[in-house]
Each structure stands twice: as structure tokens, then as C-alpha cells.
Structure 1
Amino acid sequence: MEHIIRPVRADDWEKVKELRLVALSDPAAPIAFLDTYEMAAAQPDSFWQERARGNSEARSVITFVAEAPDGTWDGSLTVLVELPDADEETVFGGAPSVPQTHIVGVFVRPEARGNGLIQALFAAAVAWSWELSEPAVERIRLFVHEDNGRALSVYRKAGFVPSGLTVAMPDDPLAKEYELELVRPAG
């Protein structure tokens, strides 16, 4: 793998926008993302500039990208910090019982799949989560749609296991998302 896995920088907003629009064009997008191509494409540049800036500060959210030698971004994922005493609700509501991180927005371009990028992105996300000291994260979670077998396979390969929590999709209460988790190793 020749890619560099690195955090997004504030000045990366154009690439953040470009890769997100590609992700939202993927056939799996309707069950993988809580966003649509049309909604994202309608956002002004200021939205993407703020998104890149916010995802580059590495306090409560960080985005990792897989950057090819030519500067193309071939994949990304975002990690959110979720705290038990936070005033705001987490994705899928409620406050967690322990400090945790939540992986969202996982995407690798179809032509770049199968060469270890997703594993490298997950390794960066997991390492970053375990390195947090304030708070010390006890688990990492993510959600996967019941019909997204490809993603489920990838997440299980990265070590995530079902937590037992199932939630309804916001736009389709008959569809389910399964929570998967990776618990901090003892010691």
C-alpha cells in the first residue's frame, strides 16, 4: 500500500467535499450514510470549509483519509468522541454509559478496494481512540445497516463484534442498524 493515512487538515475542504460526494454516489449510500448526494451537493463552500476545520481539530471529532501518492483521496472515516456527561445527544440518541468513540462515514472508492486501505483507516481510528487520555475511551462503536453485508464483513475483520443493540433507521423504522463494538483490551 502506497497510501498515507493521515488526519484531515482545515485547508483540505475541497477534497473533503469531493470524496463525500463520491461516497454518496456509491450504490450502498442509501443504507450506509445518513445523508444524500442531493443534500450534500447543495451545501455552500462555507459548509465544507467548516466541516474540514471541525474534523481537523482532533478534540471531539477527527477524520482520517487515505491519500494516494498523486494526492487523490481514496478513502476516509470519521471518529466522534461520545461522553456520558455530554449535553448533546450522540448519533442514534442518548448518552453513552462510558466514554467511547463512534466511527462513521466509512468509505473507500470502489477502484481502491481490496488493497488494505480500509484496514489501515481502521487501524488509525482505533489507535487514535485508545491514545485518548482525557477521556480514556472504554470502547469504540459503529453501526451497520442490516442489508450492508459488505460493510459488516469489513467491520468484523477489523475486530468489531455485535453489542446486542439494534436501532431503527431514522427514515425507515422497519429497517434495522446493528451496533458493533470493539472493547478496550484489559491492562
Structure 2
Amino acid sequence: MTRHVIRPVRRDEWDKAKELRLIALRDPAAAVAFLESVEEAEAQPDEFWQGRTERACEGRGARQFVAEAADGQWDGSVTLLVEAAGVPDYFGKPVEQEQGHLVGVFVRAEQRGTGLTETLFEAALEWAWSLEGPGVERVRLFVHEENARAEAFYRRFGFRESGVTVPMPGDPGGAKEREYVFARPGRG
């Protein structure tokens, strides 16, 4: 197994963040895993990627974690967004409690099944639980109803289906996404 360093992305690494995102959007599962197409992402100017990376490396609003191999290649990534209590979430519903929202989960096909995804999730959750006042009480994610592989992983990791479903944004066919949650240890 390739050794990886799991670490937060740095501001000056926007080009590598862009490269990995485009690889993720070309993955066969991208249509049920991500809310943007590769064409949409490729059309974004460098300033978009610079801003996105900057927001994911500082402050408490978001943190992107990458799995970097010894040769410098990024083999995976996950981003944790912090949703503040009382503020509307992506779907326009007020957030009831301070929570994390995992997005952008991707590991290169040749690294799947090696434990790399688990290691990325552990880093993201550790960061979420370390945030001070107000503390993050749970971390959630949404998974497309037809993404059985991802659902199986999330359950194995310890996420539980909440029963909340939302329409898949931009899907005229009425597909749904299911919410999965992971409660802060010691909180239920």
C-alpha cells in the first residue's frame, strides 16, 4: 500500500486542488456523487479555484483534507463545511445545531479499498470535533439513492441514515439524496 500524508490543503495548492477535482468529475460515479459536471468545473477561471482553495484552508468555515503520496500526487480528498446553527443550509432550511457537512469525497480508483477514505474521514472528523465554541455536534453528508457503494462505506464507517431525503439538485427525474449523520462522540 502506498503511504500517504493526510493534511489540510494549502492556499497555494489551488492548481492541484483543481486537478484532483477534475479527475473526480471524470470518474464513472461522478453523476451520482457530485453536483457539478466536469464541463462546468473546466469553465471556471483560475480565480474561482484560488478562492475555493483559500476558503478551504483557513478559519472555521471549511477545511479540505488531501491524501498526498510520497511522490507528491494527491490520491484523495474530502472537504468538511461547518454549518452554523440558525443559518439556512444549502437547501434553505435553518440549521438546528452547529454541524459539519462532508462534501467532495473522492479517492482515486486504484486507492479504493486501501483504507485511504477512512483515514481522510478520520482527519475531517477530528478537525470538526476540535473546533471551539460553538462545538460541532454532528457531521452529515448526503448520498444519491443510487450510489450503493458510497452508502455501504458510510454505514461501515459509522454514519447512520437520518430518514431525511432531499431532491437531487438539478435532477429533473426526481432522484433523491439521503442524509447520513455521525454524532459527536459522547453525544448519542
Q: TM-score range by the shorter chain?
A: over 0.9
Q: Distance in 1 between matches of 2:33 and 2:90?
A: 14
Q: Deviations over 1:130-164 (max 9, x none)?
A: 11112211111000000001111111111100011
The gaps in structure 1 that reach 5 residues or longer are none
Deviation at 1:65, TM superposition (A): 0.3
Residue 28 of structure 1: how far off its partner (Å): 0.8
Q: Which residue of 2 aligns with 1:117?
A: 116
Structure-to-structure mapping, 1:93-172, within 5 angstroms: 93-172=92-171
Compute the TM-score of the two structures, normalised by the length of structure 2. Answer: 0.95
Q: Which moved more, 1:114-123 or 1:77-86?
A: 77-86
Length-normalised TM-score, structure 1:
0.95
Alpha-carbon distance between aligned partners in 1 of 2:37 and 2:92, rounded to the nearest angstrom: 20
> Residue 61 of structure 2 corresponds to which residue in structure 1?
60
Note the C-alpha offset of 1:57: 0.6
State the AA in 1 paired with 2:71.
Answer: D
RMSD: 1.2
Residue matched to 1:22: 23
Other structure's SS at 1:56 match: coil
Note the alpha carbon deviations across 1:55-76, whole angstroms, 9 max, x for none: 1114101100000000000000
Q: Residue type matched to 1:42 in 2?
A: A
What is the match of residue 178 of structure 1? 178
Identity of aligned residues (%): 56
How many residue pairs were aligned?
A: 185
CA distance in 2, matches of 1:92, 1:104: 14
Which residue identity is paired with 2:50? Q
Counterparts of 1:120 and 1:92 in 2: how far apart (Å)?
29
CA contact (8 A) 2:80 2:103 kept: yes
Q: Which amino acid aligns with 2:186?
A: A
Contact 2:67 2:75 in 1 (8 A): yes
Q: Partners in 2 of 1:82 and 1:26 — Cα distance?
A: 28
Question: Which structure 2 residue ranges, 5 or more long, are not aligned?
Answer: none
Q: Which runs of 4+ in 1 moved over 2 A?
A: none
Native 8 Å contact 2:60 2:131 kept in 1: no
